Amino acid sequence: MRILLLAGLSALAAGCPSNLEEQSHVSKLRVLAVRADPPELVISPDAGVPATTLTALAVEPSDASVSVAFALCTEITSAPTPTLPCPGNAGIELPPAGPDSARLDLSDPRIVDFALQSQLDGGAFDAGSGLQEALDQGVSLLVGFTARAGANSLDGFATITLRSGARGPADVNPPAFALEIGDGGGVVAPKAVVHLQPVVPDDPAKTYGFSFFSTAGSISSLRSTNRTATGQLAPTWVEWTAPAAAQADPVRFWVVLRDGRGGVSWTDSSVEVR
């Protein structure tokens, strides 16, 4: 099965780190998250070859127009360097689905041809019993992206899980949510310390992780979670300290929610500091 051949390469790419910044202050072009819809590619005999739409949360404080190009990486590597040309000659360019989105369809003839050629070359695509076991566990496809805003550009990587249906249907992305900043009035005094509280539909069965970003001020912690490592419920807010002086422009915020299975959602908000 051709789709199984593709999985051999992705197994070697599992666990690849990205070159995204892990800091809460947004002062330049950033890609804060990449969402796939659906979040997993699940191979099902009755459903055909899976596909997904990739969307980047690409932000630029000046509000310059941002575009993002995606590619499925073809170079077998366990730790891609920031200079890996994917998009480029180490990637299969994915067709755009919008200025910040692209479609990853594993029935794309270019992807199928690549998988076949790799098998003919005696490479990683050996459809043996070990491959089916790996698919049952889930393997990772490496996707590269390039974000552009004016003369600025940023390269990075994301992964999406390809697996069999042994663990059930594909995950779904978390629901839409809001961010409550302080008392919700939309205005914060200079130097004030307020809570940034994600407001997510209550589901005690879910474990969510949150990442917080802003264009000004300081955030006490980049991340929070609704459940501790021992399973106890935990507060999800973090503290934000407003800048020391009034701001001419509103301070912008982004919060990314992840469910630990590839599901991603995000929200944005802003306040005036005066």
Per-residue pLDDT tens over the stretch 111-162? 988 877 765 454 444 445 556 777 888 888 899 999 999 999 999 999 999 8
- pLDDT value, residue 119: 55
pLDDT at 261 > cutoff 80:
yes
Out of 64-78, 112-126, 187-201, the most confident range is 187-201
Per-residue pLDDT tens over the stretch 236-252? 999 999 999 999 999 99
Q: Collapse the DSSP code of 130 into the 3-class scheme (helix H, G, I; strand E, B; otherwise coil) and give the result.
A: helix
Is the distance from CB of 43 to CB of 165 less than 8 angstroms?
yes
Give the integer Cα–Cα distance in Å for 167 and 135.
10
The vertex-109 CA angle with 106 and 114, nearest 5°, equals: 80
Average pLDDT over residues 199-221: 91
Evaluate whether the domain defined by 2-167 bears CATH number 2.60.40.1940.
yes
DSSP letter at 227?
B
Same fold, 2-167 and 178-273: yes
pLDDT at 4 > cutoff 80:
no
B/e letters for 99-125, b = 16+ CB within 10 Å, e = fewer, are ebbbebbbebeebbebbeebbeeeebb
In the chain, what are the domain boundaries? Answer: 2-167, 178-273
Q: Domain 178-273: give its CATH code.
A: 2.60.40.10
Give the integer Cα–Cα distance in Å for 220 and 223.
9
Distances (CA, A) of 125 to 10, 103, 115, 119: 10, 23, 7, 5
Average pLDDT over residues 176-197: 97
